[in-house]
Chains A and B, each alone.
Chain A
Amino acid sequence: MKIAVPVDEKSLESAVSPSFGRAPYFCFYDTETKESLFLDNGAVASQGGAGIKAAQSVVDNCAQVLLTPRCGENAMEVLRRSEVGIYQSLSGTLRQNLEAFAAKSLVLLSDFHPGFHGHEK
């Protein structure tokens, strides 16, 4: 299974990014091969619709699960319709969150915010 996580740096020791759509990178972690692939987030400089574009790249890279601290309504729409499970990440590193997910201690994200429309919070 592939897990997608927005991250600040291209490292397993990176913090999970506080933003989903505007995260600088995404990590795609494969639980079978234990390989992690870091990709630039093409949506980071979008004028609008960054969440949709970021969600699209999660879907296009065949992730079945996303770990994120927050997620907008539009991104959620893309992810849900594509049957990607959205789990709420915890503060800590990418590695700690992948371990927490493996230990089934992460919960499904239930709170989705309206878009920021270019106004970063």
Chain B
Amino acid sequence: MRSKGPKIAVLSGKGGTGKTLVSVNLASVAGESLYIDCDVEEPNGHLFFKPDRASEEEITVKIPVVNQSLCGGCRQCADFCKFHAIAFIKDKPYIFEELCHSCGGCALICPDKAIGERERTVGRVRRGVSGEVTVLTGTLNTGEASGIPIIKRLLDRANLRDELPAFIDCPPGSACPVMESIQDADFCLLVAEPTLFGVHNLRMVHDLVKIFGKPEGVVLNKCLEGENPAELFCLERDLLILGRIPFDNELGTLNSDGKIAARESPRFRALFSSLLDEVMKEVGREAAAHSQR
């Protein structure tokens, strides 16, 4: 049996905390690895990796189509749909495509066999290569309500190379797309800012990760001299702090120029390598503890 690489999900309660900074740089110091951008509403990891040898696939979902001449107007489809994606207007079903979750239930339940399905494109998944990193990027089309089908496909694609360590750049927050992104993760790395607002957001994702029962650790970003409310929160909760990234002019400049700090500067290569070591140590410890259970 070939061995599997760990899947590390990088998440935070809000945007701009440093998820992409951390996941891009960790993947860059991990040798041959996968970087998976699940922030499908605004993927930006590719701006750093500038992947080449790119390929692309469209992601579609199934949407019901009603054959009005077969429909007897029994209304069972509208009553069945728990997402309220089907209204019943003037004795006929009317479909709200953006609310459909593609469960197929309406087509199954229809006694007249009046409901078929068609494909609807909601976004795309791109695959490319940057150095030793395989970059998978999901993009949700503007105006679409749910990125879940794209995240599912990204993670399916990643599983084709599951011998490699994978770094999952999650969407911000703690809602459905984040849950989908961390579902198969072996470890959750929470990125936190040294502010009270940062603590609020850290608590949100920490609570979410607890529900999923995933092992977790925190990386404190934008660290300054003096008190760090996020660090205090970690100490109170006995949350493991795996690394500290300074609030640093050079790092900020490299990052805003779309450069990968760990590839540009030995100082940051060392910083992210040691963060990666800490993360991998924890992942190993968890795996060992798990096998003993």
Closest to B86 in A: A52
Q: Does A55 contact B (CB under 8 A)?
A: yes
Closest to B81 in A: A49
Q: Does B78 contact A (CB under 8 A)?
A: yes
Is there an interface contact between A59 and B99, defined as CB atoms closer than 8 Å?
no
Q: Does A46 contact B (CB under 8 A)?
A: yes
Q: Does B84 contact A (CB under 8 A)?
A: yes
* Contacts known (A53-B84, A56-B78, A117-B145); A48 close to B90, Cβ less than 8 A: no
* Contacts known (A48-B84, A50-B84, A53-B84); A74 close to B90, Cβ less than 8 A: no
- Given the complex of chains A and B, what is the CA–CA distance between A52 and B89 in angstroms? 11
Interface size of A by CB at 8 A reads 18
- Given the complex of chains A and B, what is the CA–CA distance between A46 and B99 in angstroms? 12
- Given the complex of chains A and B, what is the CA–CA distance between A77 and B99 in angstroms? 14
Is there an interface contact between A82 and B96, defined as CB atoms closer than 8 Å?
no
Nearest-neighbour CB distance to chain A for B92, whole angstroms, equals: 10
Q: Does A109 contact B (CB under 8 A)?
A: no
Q: Does B88 contact A (CB under 8 A)?
A: yes
Q: Does A12 contact B (CB under 8 A)?
A: no
Is there an interface contact between A56 and B83, defined as CB atoms closer than 8 Å?
no
- Given the complex of chains A and B, what is the CA–CA distance between A52 and B84 in angstroms? 6
Closest to A60 in B: B88
- Given the complex of chains A and B, what is the CA–CA distance between A81 and B85 in angstroms? 15
Q: Which 8 A-B pairs have the closest CB atoms?
A: A49-B84, A52-B84, A78-B87, A53-B84, A81-B89, A49-B99, A82-B89, A52-B87
Is there an interface contact between B78 and A74, defined as CB atoms closer than 8 Å?
no
Q: Does B197 contact A (CB under 8 A)?
A: no
Identify the A interface with B (CB < 8 A).
43, 46-50, 52-53, 55-56, 59-60, 74, 77-78, 81-82, 117
In the bound complex, residues from chain B placing their C-beta under 8 Å from that of A60 are: 88
In the bound complex, residues from chain A placing their C-beta under 8 Å from that of B90 are: 81-82
List 9 A-B pairs, Cβ < 8 Å: A48-B99, A49-B84, A52-B99, A53-B84, A56-B84, A74-B99, A78-B89, A78-B94, A81-B89
- Given the complex of chains A and B, what is the CA–CA distance between A82 and B94 in angstroms? 11
In the bound complex, residues from chain A placing their C-beta under 8 Å from that of B88 are: 56, 59-60
Closest to B79 in A: A56
CB contact between A55 and one of B85, B87, B99 (< 8 Å): that residue: B87
Interface centre among B89, B90, B94, B99 (most CB of A within 10 A): B89
Interface centre among A46, A49, A60, A74 (most CB of B within 10 A): A49
Closest to B143 in A: A114
In the bound complex, residues from chain B placing their C-beta under 8 Å from that of A59 are: 88-89
- Given the complex of chains A and B, what is the CA–CA distance between A82 and B83 in angstroms? 20
In the bound complex, residues from chain A placing their C-beta under 8 Å from that of B87 are: 52, 55-56, 77-78
- Given the complex of chains A and B, what is the CA–CA distance between A45 and B186 in angstroms? 34
- Given the complex of chains A and B, what is the CA–CA distance between A55 and B84 in angstroms? 11
CB contact between A46 and one of B78, B84, B89, B96 (< 8 Å): that residue: B84
In the bound complex, residues from chain A placing their C-beta under 8 Å from that of B94 are: 77-78, 81
Known pairs A52-B96, A59-B88, A74-B96. 7 more at Cβ < 8 A? A46-B84, A53-B84, A56-B84, A59-B89, A77-B94, A77-B96, A81-B89
